[in-house]
């Protein structure tokens, strides 16, 4: 079957082309669509199996990273009077998948799509300023641990990806939400050292996130948000240390580690059908 990915653009999003390229390399069709076209009812959301909010600086990060775009997604009405957010929830209820990367992760959190442990789509956690007090633009390691409860991250283990954010610190202030996230394994991607041990201090933990969390999923596993950029590691040669990696592993292919995220979801959707 043909897997179709809808990659949202506009309003300051700036990683849409790399994200679309990732899905194409993974064997899917990818359509880059401006959010205005979606809100005007010009594009049918449910023709696609996966919808992506890519990275970028939506609305210049005014009101906090992702907040202005989250408000637009949650409260804007379609021409027929229905809330776009209701259409997005219907897409998920019918088996669709939703991915948010960096600024897109911030949007998913601030709309209440993640982690949504209460099932009410209200904001339960936040992503705020890094404890370093600065924008972090460098490579880090992350791990899915023993089990990732989302098909996006199946079988990945430790992965090297770049981070590019000033507001990537996950904050969970509600003890009940924190317990649910921990008990259900929803903090599905964790900052770590190269050997896979969890990072608890800077610089391996780039932002000070609660639970050392680099990515969250919802209880269904259909929604994933992550701060690092998998679409920025599609080729081994994206990695700043690729010559050493090639020497250490002469038989290593040229594919970048981030492509696995996209291959996973495309494969899962095909197999599910």
3-state SS assignment for residue 29: strand
> 16, 124, 167, 231: which is the annotated catalytic residue?
231
Distance in angstroms (rounded) separating the CA atoms of residues 143 and 123: 25
Q: DSSP readout, 121-168?
A: -----EEE--TTSS-EEEEEEEE--S--SSGGGTT--EEEEEEEESS-
Task: Check if 188 is active-site.
Answer: no
CA 227 to chain centre: 6
Query: Looking at 229, 233, 239, 268, which residue is catalytic?
Result: 229
CB 224 within 8 A of CB 150: yes
Residue 50 and residue 5 in contact, taking contact as beta carbons nearer than 8 Å:
yes
Distance CA 235, CA 237 (A): 5
Rounded-to-integer distance, Cα 71 and Cα 115, Å: 17
Do residues 52 and 5 make contact, with C-beta atoms less than 8 angstroms apart?
A: yes
Task: Give 34's strand partners.
Answer: 9
- Catalytic residue from among 102, 142, 188, 192: 102
Main-chain dihedrals φ then ψ at residue 161, nearest 5 degrees: -145, 155
Phi, psi (rounded to 5 degrees) for 5:
-110, 135
Give catalytic residue positions: 102, 229, 231
């Amino acid at each position: 079957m043909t897997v179709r990915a809808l990659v949202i653009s506009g309003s300051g999003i700036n990683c849409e082309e790399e994200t679309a390229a990732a899905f194409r390399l993974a064997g899917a069709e990818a359509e880059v669509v401006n959010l205005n076209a979606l809100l005007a009812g010009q594009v049918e959301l449910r023709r696609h199996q996966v919808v992506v909010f890519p990275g970028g600086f939506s609305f210049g990060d005014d009101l906090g990273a992702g907040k202005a775009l989250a408000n637009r997604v949650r409260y804007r009405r379609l021409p027929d009077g229905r809330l776009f957010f209701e259409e997005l929830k219907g897409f998920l209820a019918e088996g669709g998948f939703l991915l948010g990367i960096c600024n897109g992760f911030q949007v998913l959190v601030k709309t209440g799509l993640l982690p949504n442990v209460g099932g009410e789509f209200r904001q339960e956690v936040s992503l705020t300023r890094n404890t370093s007090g600065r924008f972090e633009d460098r490579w880090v390691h992350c791990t899915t641990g023993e089990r990732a409860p989302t098909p996006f991250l199946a079988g990945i283990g430790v992965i090297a990806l770049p981070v590019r954010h000033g507001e990537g610190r996950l904050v969970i202030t509600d003890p009940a939400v924190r317990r649910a996230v921990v008990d259900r394994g929803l903090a599905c991607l964790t900052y770590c050292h190269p050997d896979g041990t969890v990072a608890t201090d800077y610089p391996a933990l780039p932002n000070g996130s609660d639970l050392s969390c680099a990515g969250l999923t919802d209880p269904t596993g259909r929604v994933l948000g992550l701060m690092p950029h998998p679409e920025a590691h599609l080729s081994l040669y994206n990695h700043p240390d690729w010559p050493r990696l090639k020497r250490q592993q002469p038989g290593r292919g040229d594919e970048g580690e981030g492509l696995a995220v996209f291959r996973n979801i495309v494969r899962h959707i095909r197999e599910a059908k």
